[in-house]
Structure formats: C-alpha cells, structure tokens
Chain A
Amino acid sequence: AQSVTQPDIHITVSEGASLELRCNYSYGATPYLFWYVQSPGQGLQLLLKYFSGDTLVQGIKGFEAEFKRSQSSFNLRKPSVHWSDAAEYFCAVGTYSGAGSYQLTFGKGTKLSVIP
C-alpha cells in the first residue's frame, strides 16, 4: 500500500529565510504527487502537483517542488518565506488500485511557523 511521510511535524523559520519541507512516499510506480496548504480553520488549497514530465514544478504563492524518483521524494521549497505562509502543509500521493479505484493518501502534515 502507498504511504507518505513528512518527517518534520513543526518547522519555524524567520521571515525572508528560505524554506524546504520534506516529503517521502512509498509506491511501486510513479504516483501523482501533490502539495496542499491548510490555514487555520480553512480547507485545503492546492499549491502544486506533479503528474509527469519536468521534475521541477512551479506552484502558486512562489512555491516549487522537485520530484526525485531515486529518493522517492517530493520536497516543497520557497526561496523567501512571508509571514502569511504560516500554515500547515500536506504532501499527498494519488494512486489507482487494480480495480480502478483512485485514492489520495496524505502525510501527517508539517506545521510552519514564521517569525517576523
């Protein structure tokens, strides 16, 4: 079965500093990969996604992520963090079962705090 690991539960960075959130997945084939952001009391907003092609994908709000097949990773990066980026970030993998059923499996999330 597929799984997603976000090893960092909580990260604190200073405003203006760079950011990298880690995500590792376990799946036998190339999955669909997603990053979502959740602000307090809100739903999940899609930041970016990878299906195929260029392994460096650009998303909204200045975020990017790089798919590394050899490391089974899909880390999220931002060169300069803004205070409004404080939120919880979820990595997810989308997979199909043999019966055609589609499932999105989420990591436990990484909470980002930003110091002004």
Chain B
Amino acid sequence: DAGVIQSPRHEVTEMGQEVTLRCKPISGHNSLFWYRQTMMRGLELLIYFNNNVPIDDSGMPEDRFSAKMPNASFSTLKIQPSEPRDSAVYFCASSLKAGGASTDTQYFGPGTRLTVL
C-alpha cells in the first residue's frame, strides 16, 4: 500500500492568499484526520471525518480554515485568507474504524510544510 499521500510537500505563499492542502488516505480506511504541528503547540487535531462526514471540527482555529471530504479517497484542507501564524506542518492521518472492534490506529502522511510570508 502506498500509505497516506499528501500534496504538496512544501508550500510557500504570501499572506492573504488561499492555500489548499490535499490528502489521499489509505485505501479502505474510513476515518481521516487533519493535524497541525508547530514548535509552540505541538501536534493539534484540527478536524476528523468518519465515512466522509465531519465528526469533530472543534480544533479548527478559525473560520478561515475549512476542510472537505467529497469521497472516501480524497480530502482537502483550505486556508483562506492565509496568515503568517498559519505557518506549520500539516499532517493527514487515516484509520480503519470497524465498529466496536476498531483498532483506531492512525497512519500518518509525510506532511505539508506551509510557510506564509
């Protein structure tokens, strides 16, 4: 299996621009997570989908952040407009939630390093 795929790996943009990060989860996985990693705050869960439906978006910092999962094999995280404080590494992870016997083990992608100037 190719694992979780994220694109782009690096993104440099200017303040005010729209940024779209993409994620392809592991085939067959039905849960998808977006995280943000910074030196100051560590790893933070932003939003979590189960069967393409957003379950918990309480970690999304502001209305400038939005995430979608139009199908089981693709998700996007959009920041509009971007600000310098959004600079971070954004990780996508997926897992197989199989009812009561769920393993809930998350597998992470390589991340997208975002720099907002």
Hey, which chain B residues are within 8 Å of A32, CB to CB? 104
Please report whether the interface of chain A is mostly helix, strand, loop or mixed according to DSSP: strand
Hey, which chain A residues are within 8 Å of B55, CB to CB? 100-102
Whether a CB of chain B sits under 8 angstroms from the CB of A22 is no
Q: Which of B79-117 contact A (CB under 8 A)?
A: 91, 93, 97, 103-111
Chain B: residues with Cβ within 8 Å of the partner, total of 21
Closest-by-CB residue of B relative to A49 is B105
Q: B110 touches which one: A43, A101, A102 (CB < 8 A)?
A: A43
**A-B Cβ contacts below 8 A, count:** 48
CB–CB B45/A44 < 8 A: no
Q: Give complex CA distance A109, B42 in Å.
A: 8
Q: Give complex CA distance A109, B43 in Å.
A: 9
Hey, which chain A residues are within 8 Å of B111, CB to CB? 42-43
CB–CB A102/B42 < 8 A: no
CB–CB B42/A103 < 8 A: no
Q: Give complex CA distance A101, B110 in Å.
A: 25
CB–CB B42/A108 < 8 A: yes
Hey, which chain B residues are within 8 Å of A51, CB to CB? 103
Q: B43 touches which one: A42, A45, A94, A106 (CB < 8 A)?
A: A106
> How many whole Å from B61's CB to the nearest CB in chain A?
16
Supply 17 A–B pairs (Cβ within 8 Å), ascending by A. A42-B111, A43-B4, A43-B91, A44-B108, A46-B105, A46-B107, A94-B104, A100-B55, A101-B55, A101-B56, A102-B31, A102-B56, A104-B33, A104-B45, A104-B106, A105-B45, A106-B42
Sample of 9 further A-B pairs with CB below 8 A, known A43-B109, A44-B91: A42-B111, A43-B91, A101-B56, A102-B31, A102-B97, A103-B56, A107-B42, A108-B42, A109-B42
> Considering the complex of A and B, which 5 residue pairs feature the smallest CB-CB distances, nearest first?
A106-B43, A43-B108, A101-B56, A44-B108, A43-B110
